[in-house]
């Protein structure tokens, strides 16, 4: 494994082993949903020029089917598949750092089902409140995200209750696989050619969807995963060659504050990612301000890929990965801005410097 500074080159990469994305059925399903529309791709010519690359585009997921994040693509398809297999289900349970839980709660409400969402200790009211507003029961556990995952899995053992999970220690678990299939719609919406895609990683489900698309797309673009320094579980796992658990002391990137990669996503991530870039919170906040300066309101996780691109383009310690993905003056780069300001007070504090209220 090649590691230089804050970037890691994935020497385990074997794109020929990456399976294609699931069939077109999830995308047909999404297109049938009320309010569906492809999310916009925004051009950022000024930032591209400053970075010394050919073009930079942002896939803006700050409004996806009425929610401020992309997660409903995976949740909605997983719920659909769950109910096709067991129409008697009346309660959905999920673990979440915020966005996935709200998406599951929204899907449950739309289908007349109950929902119970487990969140890690210390979850901010900005995360718990919107989930409760969707009609779900919110359970804040005494522990971190992995504890919430375990509690949700236990709750799924109750009668007529189903787990809608985007992470699992079981590589054959159905729900996380359906979530990855659902996320494929995001990439099927892309029309313009691209050389490099940067995606936030978290437990790896979105990254798995990205590499499955990229490995079979025209030009086979490289995919780089982005993690907070304080929760770089995929970087550590790629270095070790197997999924590992890392300590997570905390980060403002709540949706990426994950200690262990999903076993369901790991094979595709291992075989498909070109590498990873880790970013500290202050660098992400600077990227949020940069995006705000061009009129785009993007939250922490969504701005993290721009922070990573700055590091990839200019950090001497990232030379190995920069060369591996051939980043240069002609590169067509896209990053997935996965969320809007899902924590408005935190967003305001990051962008304006005012204390969070």
Mean pLDDT for each 10-residue chunk of the chain (357 residues)?
Answer: 70 96 94 97 98 98 97 98 98 93 98 97 89 96 91 95 94 94 97 97 96 96 97 97 94 92 96 98 97 98 98 96 98 98 93 72
pLDDT, residue 2, reads 43
Report all structural domains of the chain as residue ranges with CATH numbers, in order of start. 2-69+176-352 (3.40.50.1100), 72-165 (3.40.50.1100)
**pLDDT tens digits, 62-82:** 999 999 999 999 999 999 999
pLDDT at position 120, please? 92
pLDDT for residue 355: 65
Tens-digit pLDDT profile for residues 265-286: 999 999 999 999 999 999 999 9
- pLDDT value at position 124? 86
Confidence at residue 112, expressed as pLDDT on a 0 to 100 scale: 97
Q: Give the number of residues written for the chain.
A: 357
Task: Tokens for 335, please give them.
Answer: 């990053």
CA nearest to 193, candidates 347, 334, 23:
334
Contact by Cβ (8 Å): 283, 251: no
In whole angstroms, give the CA distance from residue 71 to residue 297.
18
Distance CA 326, CA 316 (A): 15
Rg, Å, the chain Cα set:
19
In order of 84, 206, 213, the CA distances from 23 in angstroms are 17, 16, 11
Q: Which residues of 122-153 are buried (b: 16+ CB within 10 A; e: fewer)?
A: ebeebbbebbeebebebbebeebbbebbebbb
Give the H/E segment covering residue 347: helix 344-352
What pLDDT was estimated at residue 123? 85
pLDDT of residue 5: 52
Quote the pLDDT of residue 1: 42
Query: What tokens does 144 get?
Result: 């971190």
Q: How far is CA 294 from CA 2, 53, 281, 298, 313, in A?
A: 35, 18, 20, 11, 20
pLDDT at 97: 84
Nearest to 54 by CA among 322, 328, 321: 328
Which run of H or E residues covers position 140?
Answer: strand 137-140
């Amino acid at each position: 494994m090649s590691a230089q500074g804050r970037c890691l080159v994935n020497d385990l990469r074997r794109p020929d082993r990456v399976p294609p994305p699931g069939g077109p059925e999830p995308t047909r399903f999404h297109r049938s949903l009320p309010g569906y529309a492809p999310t916009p791709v925004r051009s950022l010519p000024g930032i591209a020029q400053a970075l010394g690359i050919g073009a930079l585009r942002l896939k803006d997921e700050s409004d996806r089917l009425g929610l401020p994040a992309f997660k409903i693509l995976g949740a909605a398809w997983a719920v659909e598949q769950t109910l096709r297999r067991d129409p008697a289900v009346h309660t959905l349970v999920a673990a979440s750092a915020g966005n996935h839980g709200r998406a599951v709660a929204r899907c449950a409400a739309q289908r007349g089902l109950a929902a119970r969402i487990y969140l890690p200790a210390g979850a901010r009211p900005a995360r718990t409140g919107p989930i409760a507003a969707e009609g779900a029961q919110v359970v804040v556990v005494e522990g971190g995200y992995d504890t919430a995952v375990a509690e949700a899995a236990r709750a799924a053992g109750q009668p007529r209750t189903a787990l809608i999970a985007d992470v699992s220690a079981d590589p054959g678990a159905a729900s996380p696989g359906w979530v990855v299939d659902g996320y494929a719609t995001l990439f099927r919406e892309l029309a313009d050619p691209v050389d490099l895609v940067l995606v936030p990683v978290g437990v790896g489900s979105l990254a798995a969807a990205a590499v499955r698309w990229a490995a079979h797309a025209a030009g086979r673009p490289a995919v780089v995963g982005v993690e907070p320094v304080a929760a770089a579980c995929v970087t550590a796992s790629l270095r070790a060659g197997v999924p590992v658990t890392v300590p997570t002391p905390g980060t403002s990137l709540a949706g990426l504050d994950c200690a262990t990669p999903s076993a369901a996503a790991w094979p595709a991530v291992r075989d498909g990612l070109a590498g990873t870039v880790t970013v500290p919170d202050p660098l992400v906040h600077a990227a949020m301000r940069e995006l705000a300066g061009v009129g785009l309101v993007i939250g922490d996780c969504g701005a993290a890929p721009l922070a990573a691109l700055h590091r990839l383009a200019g950090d001497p310690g990232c030379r190995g990965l920069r060369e591996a993905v051939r980043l240069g003056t002609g590169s067509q780069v896209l990053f997935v801005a996965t969320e809007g300001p899902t924590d408005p007070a935190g967003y305001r504090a990051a962008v304006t410097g005012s204390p969070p209220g």
